[in-house]
Amino acid sequence: MIYGKIGGAKVSRIGMGCWAFGGGAYWGEQAQKDVDDVVRAALDSGINFFDTAQMYNDGASEKSLGAALKGARKSAYICSKVSPAKAYYKALKAACEESLTNLDTDYIDLYMLHWPINPLGIKHFTTDPAVISAPPTAEDAFRALSDLKKEGKIRDIGISNFGIKQMREALSVCPEIVANELPYNIISRAIEAEILPLCKERNLAIITAMTLQQGVLTGAFKSAAEIPPYQAHSRHFANGRGQGTSRHGEAGAEAEVFETVDLLRELSARLNASVPQLATAWALANPQITCALIGSRDKAQLDDNLKSLNVKIPQAAIDKINAVSLKVLKKLGDSPDYYEKSTESRIY
């Protein structure tokens, strides 16, 4: 295993994305035995970073992770997140207590505001007209997070899906922020233009969500028609692909996406590495990425993903991947919110 740092803590550069834990409509059923096996194997391999959130499967992800870590809590670095709709001072502190109970722990290593507080973002977390009309303030949210840190309930404060303007505002209110979690992978490179440079300037660790673009970069699918609807509602795909789950209303970049996936298949055969191994190794080759999250539904998937640590992509191959995937970037633009219209991003 290789390690980086978040705040003063040593964290594995491969992290376990736990969204599927606990099962649910988005990812389908997930057996707790498989979760237990994957978590223990991850710990044995040196992975210590586990990423979950209160909204993942309505708390079931946190509960499943907590159960799997029973007796091994001190070996794990847990990141969880709170909804911006629960970011009022008292509500946020109550949400943290709920997460602590779900996780069966008395502290969370890194606790994040899941999305920036803005009207469009709030509407994805609540239908309460009172919250929508009078949302929490950044001052309230980060005061609550700072107090939770002082109380020892959380070790560090993070943000998730924050853009340039939002990061600057958050850091002006709470200089203690140590990390930003954002989507980043071969076909989702929007953060390269401005967000990565600002994070470097302000010494914020970068955690990459969707390192494998929710399965697209595993090579399992050969066309957009094969992608399950929940995984096809991003702007990478034509609006109708999501079968009612899409909301961006755009044409997508399907030809460009699968030109990139086809290249990864070609390189996979040449470099003796699987497509997901190449995709993960590509992310880890960027020294600014502190931790790349991968989802593993069972031990076999984890074993395959771990082999990415031994994959060294030749610079010529990286250059080719970057050149081909640049077509996706140019088509989708520099908004890292891949689910809303590019002109109505929640991240700015």
Chain segment 261-274, per-residue pLDDT in tens: 999 999 999 999 99
Q: How does pLDDT run across 231-249, given as a tens digit for each residue?
A: 999 999 999 998 888 999 9
Range 3-218+275-312: architecture per CATH? Alpha-Beta Barrel (3.20)
Q: How does pLDDT run across 300-324, given as a tens digit for each residue?
A: 889 999 999 999 999 999 999 999 9
Q: How does pLDDT run across 67-95, given as a tens digit for each residue?
A: 999 999 999 999 999 999 999 999 999 99
- Determine contact, residues 182/129, Cβ cutoff 8 Å: no
> What is the per-residue DSSP string for 194-206?
THHHHHHHTT-EE
- Determine contact, residues 222/264, Cβ cutoff 8 Å: no
Orientation of helix 164-173 relative to helix 138-150, angle to 10°: 50
Cα-Cα-Cα-Cα dihedral of 129, 132, 133, 135, to 10°? 130
Q: Where are the domains of the chain?
A: 3-218+275-312
pLDDT, residue 298, reads 86
What is the pTM assigned to this prediction? 0.94
Would you call 299 exposed, middle or buried from its count of C-beta atoms within 10 A (0-12, 13-18, 19+)? middle
Whether residue 291 has pLDDT greater than 90:
yes
Q: What's the rounded mean pLDDT across residues 246-257?
A: 96
pLDDT, residue 24, reads 84
Q: Which two tokens stand for residue 282?
A: 């590509």
Please count the other Cβ atoms lying within 10 Å of the Cβ belonging to residue 36: 15
- Determine contact, residues 82/14, Cβ cutoff 8 Å: no
Q: Which SS3 state, helix, strand or coil, does residue 3 take? A: strand
**Can you say whether the dihedral through the CA atoms of 202, 198, 121, 339 is positive or negative?**
negative
pLDDT, residue 243, reads 87
Average pLDDT along the chain: 95
Length of the chain measured in residues: 348
- Determine contact, residues 317/327, Cβ cutoff 8 Å: no
Q: Which two tokens stand for residue 266?
A: 């070609």
Rounded to the nearest 5°, which phi and psi values hold at 136? -60, 165
Please count the other Cβ atoms lying within 10 Å of the Cβ belonging to residue 88: 18
**Spatial CB neighbours of 10, under 8 Å, sequence gap ≥ 6:** 3, 4, 48
Whether residue 216 has pLDDT greater than 90:
yes
Whether residue 23 has pLDDT greater than 90:
no
Distance CA 114, CA 84 (A): 6
What is the residue type of 213?
Q
Q: What's the rounded mean pLDDT across residues 146-163?
A: 98
